[in-house]
Chain A
Amino acid sequence: MTPEELNEIAVTEKEAQSRFPHHVCVCTAAGCLSAGSGEVKKALAKEVIESGMQHECKVKGVGCMGLCSAGPLVTVDGRMYQNVTADDSTDIVRSMEDGKPVKRLECNTKAPFFTRQTKMVLENSGVIDPERIEDYIAADGYSALLNAITEMRPNEVVDQVIKSGLRGRGGAGYPTGLKWSTVAKASGGAMKYVICNADEGDPGAFMDRAVLESDPHRVLEGMAIAAYAVGATRGYIYVRAEYPLAVKNLRTAIRHAEKLELLGNDIAGTRFSFRVEVRLGAGAFVCGEETALIASVEGKRGTPRPRPPYPAQQGLWGHPTLINNVETFANVPVILRKGGEWFSKIGTAKSKGTKVFALAGRVKNTGLIEVPMGIPLREIIFDIGGGIPDGRNFKAVQTGGPSGGCIPEAHLDLPVDYESLAKVGSIMGSGGMIVTDDSSCMVDVAKYFIEFCMSESCGKCVPCRVGTTHLHNLLEKICRGEGTEKDIATIEELCDVVRNTSLCGLGQSAPNPIMSTLNYFRHEYTAHVKDASCPAGVCITARAKEAK
């Protein structure tokens, strides 16, 4: 595949698409699919044929459009419909014939949920058919890869990524360019590997799933560019088996890319070869930690090991390995297409670009959003998210999953970037954002997250294995209304030990939800301990039982 041939495919595809005056896109990503979009798509396709419009109207399945709470979502010539059922297909097809939109299904795309977003990683999501490589190529896909391998030297590619200021989207925010240049410089014999970390395990987070389901080629292109930049020839995508649709779309994408020789040996007639394999994770949260992930890919028990040596020096089977998150790779094609400098203009001084968040919990609009770095939390929750439903009051927002912290109202005007979130005791994490209102008890919330960490601890190191268990037991005791002031002191002591002595990031960050709630909502802990009562009325304390 040469750049000219690629362009030819793009032109042919665009022509084929423009032959249809009408385009119906049905979201077939996991969220809408579970709401019945598969049936909707079938019914629409049938209706189009029955009304004889098959030459004028193209019905296709696309990826996530974002507003999952209003699914199934369908766009007809750019107009979005929400909560569509199979029965609506007649009206929708008729609307194309008479040009009058179906009023009762219309979704207001002028709402802040849509207008405040900046789509970069998700630019093709909800627009292209993830199962057709031609659709991706028509959207400039793989042009960055072919341009890089035919026109640029590997170090020039690394330079662009350094210039962009892109930081790892998996959570820690390590500068991507620096990681790439470390692997590029590593001299580890013949082999180097690129791994894509798609082991998204945070409760309430589905950013990576959406990207893989909606635009899998984007991740493959990012990986291939990375492989060229660092000198790797083999790649693995470690994706959890709980994402069957993502796995299926990825496998299809790999097969199509290999068929068009965009992956494989001597790509575009150059000496660059790159092959990708999918590896399924067995649902262990700790396997998102890079060294545990590598052990798992090797077929071993997924437990982390101390770093250094870092995977960049000694990774998969002892070879230098570049390991990045799905969203990080998904940013790469656009950086190469538009240049690192262009990318670095988006975001804040230290956090560049956009971030995809999975907005969940007690907000009106739940779903997938992409916003520029530096946007205040308040804007995400109250404008994009539409605020708290049922007239309740906001209490806290939990960012970064079980490793993150709970941020109270007082800090809502903080710009979302790596440093600001860390300053208030939370983390950016991979992008989960769970909003809680005044019906939630913060002790209960902390207990939920530590229970998650406790059951997902691999058990290798003592503080994480035993410490999280004690923390969970103590919080449970407090929730029962049987805790004492001394228990709170023990919790604080344990948090300090677990955070500072644990082997990997799981243990080191597991106390964050407890420490942040102790910091901002200590009065709730005190109420449980002193009066054996739960201010939010969630915990069944001894007193609550008596009252019954």
Chain B
Amino acid sequence: MSAPIKTLVIDGQDVSASADQTILEVAKEHGVFIPTLCNMQGLHPIGACRMCVVEVKGSKKLIPACTTNVEEGMEVTTNSVRLQGYRRTVLELLFSERNHVCSVCVVNGHCELQNMAQKLNLTHVHFPYLYPKLTVDASHERYMVDHNRCILCGRCVRVCDEIEGAHTWDITGRGIDCRVITDLNQTWGSSETCTACGKCVHVCPTGALSEKGKSVAEMSKRKQFLPYLTMMRERAK
């Protein structure tokens, strides 16, 4: 049974969509760009990075496009000056949170955070850098995690749980002290649940998760597996 069809307006453009689609999906279908960081096709959306917030007429609050389904008669604005300002500030906050020095990063040139900064024309950060002291865990045979590059998007947690079914990754701590952990906060190398499939590494938007043996700018992520896996699983149903 297919979901009913809804009609709505996105940036002045009349569009129709299936009721089970999100604003983000429909916008993408119609060539409207909404920036995202935590969202990834094939994973459950969580609305954490707040990059995709949009304005909906009649709602005082900003609405995350990735988790909100379309409704009949919605009037969505995706790129007002106000939204551009908020997005840049949120992105700046991310850059100020941990160490994101691109020139020494394994994913330099292939990084979603870096790309986003270029796309949104972010050249300076006017908040003081927090630079917390964080560790690198290179105990795993093939991969490593550098917490200094992590933006806590939760993609690794979701892909490991929803796709691989191992739930090795999770998040510990509160607020600014949050960190991704393997199993019950033990080293990745000693994790008994990790299948070493590497899905987490390839969905990671930054250089937080990488393959060992890669030098600066050598690590590019291969995300193609995810839409393919999702498609094959849908078919198998």
B-binding residues in A (CB < 8 A): 284, 301, 305-306, 308, 454-470, 473, 490, 493-494, 497, 500-503, 508
Is B48's CB under 8 angstroms from A462's CB? Answer: yes
Kindly supply a per-residue 1/0 record for chain B positions 143-167, scoring 1 wherever the CB is within 8 Å of any chain A CB and 0 otherwise: 0000000011010000000000000
Residues of the A chain whose Cβ atoms lie less than 8 Å from the Cβ of B173: 459
CB pair B86–A497 under 8 Å, yes or no, is: yes
Q: Is the interface of A mostly helix, strand, loop or mixed?
A: helix
Are A462 and B174 neighbours in the complex by a CB distance under 8 Å?
Answer: no
Name A459's contact: one of B61, B130, B171 (CB within 8 Å). B171
Alpha-carbon separation in the docked complex, A468 to B127 (Å): 12
User: How far does the Cβ of B178 sit from chain A's closest Cβ, in whole Å?
Assistant: 3
- Say whether A459 contacts B47, CB under 8 Å: no
Q: How far is the CA of A469 from the CA of B129 in the complex (A)?
A: 11
Contact between chains at A465 and B46 (CB < 8 Å): no
Q: Are B50's CB and A503's CB within 8 A?
A: yes
User: How far, in angstroms, from A306 to B47 measured CA to CA in the complex?
Assistant: 7
- Complex-state Cα separation, A149 to B85, whole angstroms: 55
Residues from chain A with a CB closer than 8 A to the CB of B93 are 462-463, 466-467, 470, 497
Q: Counting CB contacts under 8 A, is B25 at the interface?
A: no
The segment from B62-70, B134-142, B194-202, B225-233 found at the interface with A is: B62-70
In the complex, 25 of the A-B residue pairs with CB atoms within 8 angstroms, ordered by the A residue number, are A301-B170, A306-B67, A306-B68, A308-B69, A454-B175, A457-B176, A459-B171, A459-B173, A460-B46, A461-B48, A461-B49, A461-B50, A465-B97, A466-B97, A466-B176, A469-B130, A469-B175, A469-B176, A470-B96, A473-B130, A497-B90, A497-B93, A500-B61, A500-B86, A501-B62
A459 touches B152 (CB 8 A): yes
The answer to the question of B9 belonging to the interface, with a C-beta cut-off of 8 Å to chain A, is no
Q: Which residues of B contact A306 (CB under 8 A)?
A: 46-47, 64, 67-68
- Which 10 residue pairs spanning A and B have beta carbons closest together? A459-B178, A457-B175, A466-B93, A306-B47, A306-B67, A469-B176, A501-B50, A497-B89, A466-B97, A459-B175
Instruction: Write out the residue numbers on chain A whose beta carbons fall within 8 Å of the beta carbon of B234.
Output: none
Is the beta-carbon distance between A470 and B128 smaller than 8 angstroms?
A: yes
B97 near A461 with CB under 8 A, answer no
Contact present for A462 and B127 (CB under 8 Å) = no
Interface residues of B (CB under 8 A from A): 46-50, 53, 61-62, 64, 67-69, 86, 89-90, 93-94, 96-97, 126-128, 130, 151-152, 154, 170-171, 173-178
User: A358 CA to B89 CA in the complex, in Å?
Assistant: 38
How many angstroms between the C-alpha atoms of A151 and B236 in the bound complex? 53
Given A470-B128, A473-B128: A465 in contact with B176 (beta carbons within 8 A): yes
> Distance (Å) between the CB of B157 and the closest chain A CB?
10
Residues of B within 8 A of A462 (CB): 48-50, 90, 93-94, 97, 151
Task: Tell me if A461 and B47 are in contact (CB < 8 A).
Answer: yes
Q: Which residues of B contact A503 (CB under 8 A)?
A: 47-48, 50, 64
- Which of B126, B127, B178 has the most C-beta atoms of chain A within 10 angstroms of its own C-beta? B127
Q: How far is the CB of A496 from chain B (nearest CB, A)?
A: 8
Distance in angstroms between the alpha carbons of A458 and B152 in the assembled complex: 12
How many pairs of residues, A versus B, come closer than 8 Å at their CB atoms? 99
Q: Which residues of B contact A455 (CB under 8 A)?
A: 174-175
Q: A454 contacts which chain B residues (CB < 8 A)?
A: 175-176
Q: In the complex, given contacts A462-B97, A463-B90, A502-B50, what are 8 additional A-B residue pairs having Cβ atoms less than 8 angstroms apart?
A: A305-B46, A306-B68, A455-B174, A463-B89, A466-B97, A466-B176, A490-B126, A503-B47
Contact B127 A456 (CB under 8 A): no
A502 to B49, CA, bound (A): 9
Q: Which residues of A contact B152 (CB under 8 A)?
A: 459-460, 465
Considering the complex, give the chain A residue whose CB is closest to the CB of B49: A462
Q: Which residues of B contact A461 (CB under 8 A)?
A: 47-50
Task: Decide if B53 touches A501 in the complex (CB within 8 Å).
Answer: yes
A418 to chain B, nearest CB (A): 16
A457 partner residues in chain B, CB cutoff 8 A: 174-176
A468 to B93, CA, bound (A): 10
Are B175 and A465 in touch, CB under 8 angstroms? yes
Residues of B near A467 (CB, < 8 A) are 93
CA of A459 to CA of B86, assembled, Å: 18
A508: chain B residues at CB < 8 Å are: 61
Which residue from chain A places its CB closest to the CB of B152 in the assembled complex?
A: A459
Measured CB to CB, the closest approach of chain A to B94, in angstroms, equals: 6
Distance from B18 Cβ to chain A, minimum over Cβ atoms (Å): 17
| Cα distance, A473 to B97, chains bound together (Å) | 13
Q: Are A456 and B128 in touch, CB under 8 angstroms?
A: no
Residue among B49, B53, B68, B175 making CB contact with A308, cutoff 8 Å: B68
Q: What is the bound-complex CA distance between A103 and B173, given in angstroms?
A: 55
When distances are taken between beta carbons in the complex, the residues of chain A under 8 Å from B151 are 462
Task: Find A456's partner among B49, B86, B175 (CB 8 Å cutoff).
Answer: B175
CB distance from B207 to the nearest CB of A (A): 18
Which residues of B sit under 8 angstroms from A460, Cβ to Cβ? 46, 48, 152, 154
CA distance A465 to B178 in the complex (A): 9
How far is it, in angstroms, between the C-alpha of A401 and the C-alpha of B47 when the chains are bound?
Answer: 26
Assuming the A-B contacts A306-B64, A465-B152, A466-B97, are A501 and B175 also in contact, with contact meaning beta carbons closer than 8 angstroms in the complex? no
Cα separation A490 to B154 with both chains bound (whole Å): 29
Nearest Cβ distance between residue B183 and chain A, in whole angstroms? 15
A308 to B74 Cα, complex, angstroms: 15
Bound form: Cα–Cα A503–B53 in Å:
10
A211 to chain B, nearest CB (A): 28
**CB neighbours of A301 from chain B (8 A):** 170-171
The verdict on A459 contacting B177 (CB below 8 Å), with A305-B47, A503-B48 known, is yes
Distance of A494 Cα from B126 Cα, bound (Å): 11
Residues of chain A lying within 8 A (CB to CB) of residue B62: 500-501
Q: How far is the CA of A457 from the CA of B152 in the complex (A)?
A: 14
A457 to B177, CA, bound (A): 10
Which residue in chain B gives the minimum CB-CB distance to A472?
A: B176
Residue on B nearest A466 in the bound complex, by CB: B93
Specify which chain A residues have a CB less than 8 angstroms from the CB of B127 in the assembled complex: 470, 490
Q: List, in ascending order, chain A residues with CB within 8 A of B67's CB.
A: 305-306
Roughly how many angstroms separate A308 CA and B62 CA in the complex, as a whole number?
13
- Measured CA separation A502–B93 after assembly (Å): 13
Let me know if A458 and B86 touch, CB within 8 A: no
Shortest distance in angstroms between B136's beta carbon and chain A's nearest beta carbon? Answer: 20
Residues of B within 8 A of A502 (CB): 50
Select from chain A the residue with minimum beta-carbon distance to B46. A305
- Contacts of A468 on B, CB cut-off 8 Å? 175
Interchain CA distance A465-B171 in the complex, whole Å: 14
Say how far A54's CB is from chain B's closest CB, in angstroms.
53
A153 to B72, alpha carbons, bound, how many Å? 34
Report A-chain residues with C-beta under 8 Å of the C-beta of B89: 463, 493-494, 497
Whether the Cβ atoms of A456 and B90 lie closer than 8 Å is no
Q: With CB as the reference atom, state the residue of chain B lying closest to A464.
A: B175
A509 to B177, CA, bound (A): 21
